Amino acid sequence: MLSLPTAVERVVRDLRDDILRGRLRTGDRLPSERDLAESAGVNRGAVREGLRALAQLGLIEILPRGAQVAPLNEASLDVLGHLLELDDLPDAELADQVLEVHGHVLSAAVRMAVERGSDDDIERLRKQLEQITRDDLAEESYAESMHELVRMLVDVSGNFVLRLVRHGLELQFWDRIHRIEGLSVRIPREILHDLVGQLDQAVAARDALTASDLALRFLRAHRDRIVDLLQEEHAKQARAALQEGLATSLLQHLRVLEEGGE
């Protein structure tokens, strides 16, 4: 979304989060512009611009009788990034769905690249595959090498729409995943070398169907790892929250007992 004035951003953020968290549901009428302006502490012009921005996201419909919440499944792809950022840690199920789509994007890109690429293109792809398997790559370099491979495959495919989808997924999803401290997307060495080795052979032989299937398996390995790590981290956070709640409850109970004793 384009950079918006602070007042407008506040209107957009508050209403967007209420919709994405389910506090406002499909068909719900939004308050009037005047009421929204008063509650957000902004002028009606900022509210009007904010509503237009939400309509562009596909989250609301602006009708003659006022604005109402639109079905979330009809929203634009730009909503994905906001869904992933609702909490500090992305939802594991949503991440799994994103990665499922990404797997098919990669699979299609590999098939088209192998079918359409020149001999020089194939050689560059094979060198990039070799780069990914280097054991001395740091986590950040590994992730960047993976993204560079996908960019190369999509470029060689020559499919413009595939480029747009790839770019959208990288901005909406991967940038957020890589910002999570301590989350490593690297799959185990033996799996990495096995899958990349087979993929390299298929690319060299210009076996598009085999290469496409291997690319899907390659992304699936990363998908399983990322989803497992997110689920583990969510479980840790839930346990920590429970422990904190129990500790707070115990302290309150002790205070009550102390005050009663006095």
Q: CATH number, domain at 59?
A: 1.10.10.10
Angle at 1 between CA 39 and CA 98, to 5 degrees: 110
Angle at 105 between CA 101 and CA 111, to 5 degrees: 145
Are residue 218 and residue 131 in the same domain, yes or no? yes
The Cα-based distances of 220 to 131, 229, 231 in angstroms read 20, 14, 16
The residue among 25, 54, 74 that closes a domain is: 74
Q: Which amino acid is at 249?
A: S
Are residue 22 and residue 45 in the same domain, yes or no? yes
pLDDT value of position 246: 65
- Cα–Cα distance measured from residue 16 to residue 181, given in angstroms and rounded to the nearest whole number: 26
Cβ–Cβ < 8 Å for 136, 179: no
Are residue 133 and residue 212 in the same domain, yes or no? yes
The Cα-based distances of 71 to 17, 24, 26, 120 in angstroms read 15, 11, 5, 47
pLDDT value of position 237: 75
pLDDT value of position 180: 83
pLDDT value of position 205: 97
Are residue 168 and residue 86 in the same domain, yes or no? yes
Cβ–Cβ < 8 Å for 217, 195: yes
Domain boundaries, position 83: 79-239
Are residue 62 and residue 164 in the same domain, yes or no? no
Number of domains in the chain: 2
Are residue 125 and residue 92 in the same domain, yes or no? yes
Are residue 204 and residue 227 in the same domain, yes or no? yes
DSSP state of 29: B
Are residue 85 and residue 197 in the same domain, yes or no? yes
Among the listed residues 123, 103, 131, the one whose alpha carbon sits nearest the alpha carbon of residue 214: 103
pLDDT value of position 241: 67
Cβ–Cβ < 8 Å for 158, 175: no
Residue 200 falls inside a structural domain? yes
User: Around 131, how many Cα atoms within 13 Å sit in the side-chain half-sphere?
Assistant: 15
| Cα 252 to the center of its chain, rounded Å | 40
pLDDT value of position 250: 65
The residue among 27, 57, 74 that closes a domain is: 74
Residue 13 falls inside a structural domain? yes
Cβ–Cβ < 8 Å for 92, 187: no
Tokens of 4: 């918006």
Residues 6+ apart with CB under 8 A from 223: 96, 99, 100, 102, 103
Residues 6+ apart with CB under 8 A from 15: 24, 30, 36, 50, 51, 54, 59, 60
pLDDT value of position 1: 46
pLDDT value of position 253: 62
Residue 215 falls inside a structural domain? yes
Q: What is the pLDDT along the chain (262 residues), one digit of tens a residue?
A: 444 558 888 889 999 999 999 999 999 999 998 998 888 888 889 899 999 999 999 999 998 888 999 998 888 888 888 888 888 888 999 999 999 999 999 999 999 999 999 999 999 999 999 999 998 988 889 999 999 999 999 999 999 999 998 888 888 888 888 888 878 889 999 999 999 999 999 999 999 999 999 999 999 999 999 999 999 887 887 777 667 776 676 667 667 666 665 5
Q: Is 3 exposed, middle or buried (0-12, 13-18, 19+ CB in 10 A)?
A: exposed
Cβ–Cβ < 8 Å for 157, 116: yes
